[in-house]
Structure 1
Amino acid sequence: MSDTSSPLLFSLADGVATLTLNRPGVFNSVNKPLALAFQQHLRDCQADAAVRAVCITGTGRAFCAGQDLAEITGPDAPEVAEIVELHYNPIISLIRELDKPVVAAVNGVAAGAGANIALACDIVVARESASFIQAFSKIGLIPDSGGTYFLPRLVGMQRASALMMTGDKVSAAEAVQMGMIYKTFADDVFEQEVATLLRKLAGMPTKGLAYTKQLLNKTFGNDLTQQLRAKGDYQLRAGQTTDYREGVAAFLEKRQPTFTGN
């Protein structure tokens, strides 16, 4: 586990890497040290074969309240565009490029960039008491961190436009209903349910999941013919993995497979 005073805590156990945003006094809002630590840990997760699933969550009552506005005010403050380019865009790209499943475990409010970091993940689960807010319009900004890319694809153009323009709060239950996130868990069992999900993902064929993720990354830019061709390429790769051979053998032998991520 990382130093508990760090703005981002890191732990690795049983194939699951957990990145915990750790600025609870400011609702885990993002400043430069947090953003850079976030980027580095995502790179480390990509490079470490022992990592087979990644969880992003927060300490305290919030998942992430977005940008720490104290960092972008005052005479010597950096431009908002600079912060987005150097801090948030790399985080979103690293999440999407990570060859392992990434779960956002939304433990509380996810606002602004915090909401869109969650939506960039492969699977989003939330406490029943959590909420999501596209808060940018409340301070005269546009949604960043991939929000205008992911949200319309998840909920449709009409809902995305309304949520981004009004800044209305979306409850976790509403987010499930509109297809924004995968599932909610009751507050009192949230940690246990998240741990169960991550153990399941960490025990699955990691390369096969990575190829699935890479195909999903391509799907909105491909037509059907291109997607079918890409599928063939990735299926060939998947068929050459140790985990594919183990999965077939386990099926034929009527036993549970033991996947190694290779």
Structure 2
Amino acid sequence: MSVQKQGELVKVHIEGKVARVVLNRPESLNALDLGLMNGLLSALKEIRRDPDLAIVVLTGEGKGFSSGGDIKSMLSLGNEGDFSEVMDVINELAMTLYTLPKIVVAGIHGSAAGLGFSLALTADYILCEEDSKLAMNFIGIGLIPDGGSHFLLQERLGTHKAKRMIWNGKVMLGQEALMKGLVDEALPSGKLAEGLERYIEQCLQSPVKALLKTKEIYTELNKERLQEALLKEKDGQWLMRQTSDHQEGIKSFIEKRRPSFKGE
């Protein structure tokens, strides 16, 4: 058993074949800044090297899973070099989660928005609470999804429904997300931990090596498509950051008002 220090941005608790990874910036609803993303990436790489681990459970500390990318950090990315560095970390994080040779389980309570939702979608199995709020809401600030979401949503929804979801950017409650096929279980409020334990036990009572071999085959079939999506998202995100609509989206977010987009 191993527990990382409480003060760290990512907490990891290992017991038996299970690693529990907790995003730990509760004061910002686990908004993903460079520090948190690098901390998560480092933890995942360490977990990957441990042959005794079979299951990884990803959750968020505090009132929600993750509110998405840290807007304040985003505002400081004034040049293409800084932007490229952050996008490279996002892309490596998505690829590392998706290709991890473990069963990855995401447990969502509260908010999972933007990049936070993208990371959850890399998981093999997603549980949420019925009153969770899930949103692929990049469109609200004139951006496109990143973290591989073009690929990940296409896998779960198909192209047409994925486009509709990205374009409307609306907030869904957990039950609606389940009906759409975006998550695998929607549990009553406060029952996430119970649901996670039940699913972990189900996996541990299964022939885990067979489960992981199936994951490996699908990973090999799909990882080049994910890599291509990540590269296109990086290029597209930079182009969108230059638009007037993005500037208006950020300004309206800060001013807490409805944006007035002009398609420019």
Structure 2: unaligned runs, 5 residues or longer = 225-264
Aligned with 1:18 (options 11, 20, 23): 20
Aligned mates of 1:219, 1:40 — CA distance in 2: 26
Partner of 1:167: 169
1:156 and 2:132 are equivalent in the alignment: no
Aligned mates of 1:59, 1:42 — CA distance in 2: 17
> C-alpha displacement at 1:80, in angstroms?
3.5
Partner of 2:193: 191
Output the amino acid matched with 1:211. Answer: K
Aligned mates of 1:203, 1:44 — CA distance in 2: 25
1:3 and 2:34 are equivalent in the alignment: no
Corresponding residue SS for 2:5: coil
Q: Is the Cα–Cα contact under 8 Å of residues 67 and 113 in structure 2 kept in the other structure? A: yes
Aligned mates of 2:222, 2:103 — CA distance in 1: 19
Aligned with 2:107 (options 99, 105, 108): 105
Identity of aligned residues (%): 24
Q: Residues 9 and 82 (structure 1 numbering): CA distance in 2 closer, same or farther, change over 3 Å?
A: same
Partner of 2:49: 47
Partner of 1:145: 147
Corresponding residue SS for 1:63: coil
Q: Residues 52 and 221 (structure 1 numbering): CA distance in 2 closer, same or farther, change over 3 Å?
A: closer
> C-alpha displacement at 1:165, in angstroms?
1.3
Q: Deviations over 1:12-57 (max 9, x none)?
A: 1132101100111111011112111111111111111231100000
Q: Residues 82 and 165 (structure 1 numbering): CA distance in 2 closer, same or farther, change over 3 Å?
A: farther
> C-alpha displacement at 1:148, in angstroms?
0.4
Corresponding residue SS for 2:32: coil
Corresponding residue SS for 1:180: coil
Aligned mates of 2:84, 2:150 — CA distance in 1: 16
Partner of 2:261: none
TM-score between both structures, scaled by the size of structure 1: 0.78
1:117 and 2:119 are equivalent in the alignment: yes
> C-alpha displacement at 1:130, in angstroms?
0.9
Partner of 2:85: 82
Partner of 1:250: none
Partner of 1:251: none
Corresponding residue SS for 1:198: helix
Range moving further from structure 2, 108-117 or 162-171: 162-171
Partner of 1:227: none
Output the amino acid matched with 1:199. Answer: E
Corresponding residue SS for 1:118: helix
Q: Residues 155 and 17 (structure 1 numbering): CA distance in 2 closer, same or farther, change over 3 Å?
A: same
> C-alpha displacement at 1:218, in angstroms?
4.3
Aligned mates of 1:127, 1:221 — CA distance in 2: 29
Corresponding residue SS for 1:204: coil
* Match runs of 1:197-212 below 5 Å: 197-212=199-214
Partner of 2:40: 38
Partner of 2:242: none
Corresponding residue SS for 1:143: coil
Q: Deviations over 1:73-92 (max 9, x none)?
A: 2476764443121x211111
Structure 1: unaligned runs, 5 residues or longer = 223-262
Q: Is the Cα–Cα contact under 8 Å of residues 106 and 125 in structure 1 kept in the other structure? A: yes
* Match runs of 1:238-249 below 5 Å: none
Corresponding residue SS for 2:65: strand
Output the amino acid matched with 2:65. Answer: F
Aligned mates of 1:181, 1:142 — CA distance in 2: 21
Q: Is the Cα–Cα contact under 8 Å of residues 129 and 172 in structure 1 kept in the other structure? A: yes
> C-alpha displacement at 1:203, in angstroms?
4.3
TM-score between both structures, scaled by the size of structure 2: 0.78
Give the superposed CA RMSD.
2.0
Corresponding residue SS for 1:162: helix
